[in-house]
Amino acid sequence: MIDDWFAPLRGLIDVAHIERTVRLLVVGGGRVGLSFIHTAIAHGVRWVRVIEPDWTESRNYASGFPEAAVGSRKIDFLREHLLRYSSRISFEGASVRLTTASMEPFLSWLPRSSHVALFLDSFEVASALARMAYRQCPCLYAAVFENGRTGEAAWSLGGQTPCLESTVRLSEKRGARGGQTALVDVLSTVNVSVRQLLGLALAGRRGFELFAPFVRPRFPLAVVVNRPGGFAETGSPDMPSGVRLVEVVDVNGRGPTCPTCAGYRP
Ligand SMILES: [Zn+2]
C-alpha cells in the first residue's frame, strides 16, 4: 500500500514529532481515504478519527478492501484493520453521512484535531467542512474527478492560503487536458496529499525546508494526471511526473476575498 516514491524521504521525516503532534480527522474512507490513512500511519500518525458512512461492496475489490470485508461497514473494517496494524493507534469512527446541514460528529471532533483530511465526492459538503476547519487547523482535500481520469489535492491554512472553495474556484488551470483515457493514478493523489500533510505537520520545524513546495501558500492545489511526463511542470525532481502544482490567483494576480478567507493575501 505504501508507495516506494516515499523511500528517499522516509529517513528525513520526523516520525516522533508527527506521532506526538498530529491528530488526524478524516472524512471519507473510500479508495483515496483508505490509502491516505495507511500512508499517514506509516509516517507516524497515531491519532485518527474517521467518518465514513458506506458499506463495502464487491466493486471495492480493487480499491484496498479485501474480499473478507465485503458486506461490512467500511468504518468497522478500518477500525479492525488499523488496530491490527498497531494497538497504539487511537481510533474512533462514525458511520455517518455528513451534509451541509448536518456535520456531527465532525464539529465535535474538530477542536481536538490538528489536521483535517477530506475525501468526499461532494465538493459542496467538502467546502462546507473546510470552511469550518479553515481557522482551526490545516485542512486537506483530495478527490478523483468523476471522469475517473484525473484527481486533485488541495490544502488550506487559515490566513496563509485561500479556503478550499476559493482555491478551487480561482484555479483556472484545474482539470485535465483532453484526450486522456487512462485511469487516474489514485496513489499519486494520495502521495501528494500525504506530502502536503507532512509539510503542514512539520512546518515551522526543519521540515519546512524539506517540504517547502507543499507549504508555500502560492501552491495550495495540485492536479494529478495519470500520464507520465504529461505534467512534469513542478520543477521538483522528487515529484511524480503526473503532478502539476497550481497557483491560486485571479487574472490580476490577486487572491480571493470571500467571507471565509477574507484577510488572506497572496
Ligand atoms: Zn475563501
Tens-place pLDDT, residues 107-157? 999 999 999 999 998 899 999 999 999 989 989 999 887 766 678 888 888
Q: How far is the CA of 200 from the centre of ligand 1 (A)?
A: 19
Half-sphere CA count of 10, side-chain side, radius 13 A: 12
Q: How far is the CA of 256 from the centre of ligand 1 (A)?
A: 6
Q: What CATH number does the domain containing 235 carry?
A: 3.40.50.720
Q: How far is the CA of 91 from the centre of ligand 1 (A)?
A: 31
Residue 266 domain-assigned (yes or no): no
Q: What is the mean pLDDT of the segment spanning 214-224?
A: 72
209: Cβ–Cβ under 8 A, 6 or more apart, which residues?
A: none
Q: How far is the CA of 135 from the centre of ligand 1 (A)?
A: 11
Q: How far is the CA of 243 from the centre of ligand 1 (A)?
A: 24
Give this prediction's pTM. Answer: 0.85
Residue 252 domain-assigned (yes or no): no
Residue 224 domain-assigned (yes or no): yes
Q: How far is the CA of 189 from the centre of ligand 1 (A)?
A: 23
Q: How far is the CA of 260 from the centre of ligand 1 (A)?
A: 5
**Number of folded domains in the chain?**
1
Cell 502521495, located at residue: 191
167 vs 174: CA distance, rounded Å: 10
The least confident of 3-7, 70-74, 216-220, 262-266 is 3-7
Closest CA to 211 of 188, 192, 230: 192
Tens-place pLDDT, residues 76-88: 988 998 888 888 8
Q: How far is the CA of 11 from the centre of ligand 1 (A)?
A: 36
| pLDDT given for residue 115 in this prediction | 92
Residue 133 domain-assigned (yes or no): yes
- Quote the longest CA-to-CA distance of the chain: 54
Tens-place pLDDT, residues 236-255: 545 566 777 777 766 676 76
| C-beta of residue 152 within 8 angstroms of C-beta of residue 223 | yes
Q: How far is the CA of 95 from the centre of ligand 1 (A)?
A: 29
Tens-place pLDDT, residues 96-118: 999 999 999 999 999 999 999 99
